[in-house]
Amino acid sequence: MKSVMTDDELDAAIANWQVLNKTIARMSEMDVKNALNRELVGNRRKDVTKRLHQRFCILRNSRERDELMKSLEDTPVFLKPALKF
């Protein structure tokens, strides 16, 4: 997913808890990752870093799960029973 926020927008989004909580749900995976990187080299606040990392993991897991499920759709029918756990 492509980043849609500029560095200035990311800095504004992580400026304080109130703004972060309003904007984090709308941020893409790349935006959250970029915000996390900016926090790590900037303010280095533990709570903000933890919250950004939590959101990043949720978005990444969702994307990876979607990719995994998509790969199952591309699996030939005769192989699907062998993939059950």
- Report yes or no on 2 lying in a domain: no
Span 14-68, pLDDT tens digits = 999 999 999 999 999 999 999 999 999 999 999 999 999 999 999 999 999 999 8
Range of the domain at 42: 7-83
Return d(Cα 32, Cα 37) in angstroms, integer: 9
Return d(Cα 25, Cα 54) in angstroms, integer: 12
More reliable by pLDDT, 1 or 65? 65
Q: In this structure, how many other beta carbons lie within 10 angstroms of the beta carbon of residue 11?
A: 15
Number of domains in the chain: 1
Return d(Cα 23, Cα 10) in angstroms, integer: 10
- Give the pLDDT score at 83: 57
Phi, psi of 77 (to 5 degrees): -55, -40
Residue 1 has pLDDT above 60, yes or no: no
- Report yes or no on 71 lying in a domain: yes
- Report yes or no on 72 lying in a domain: yes
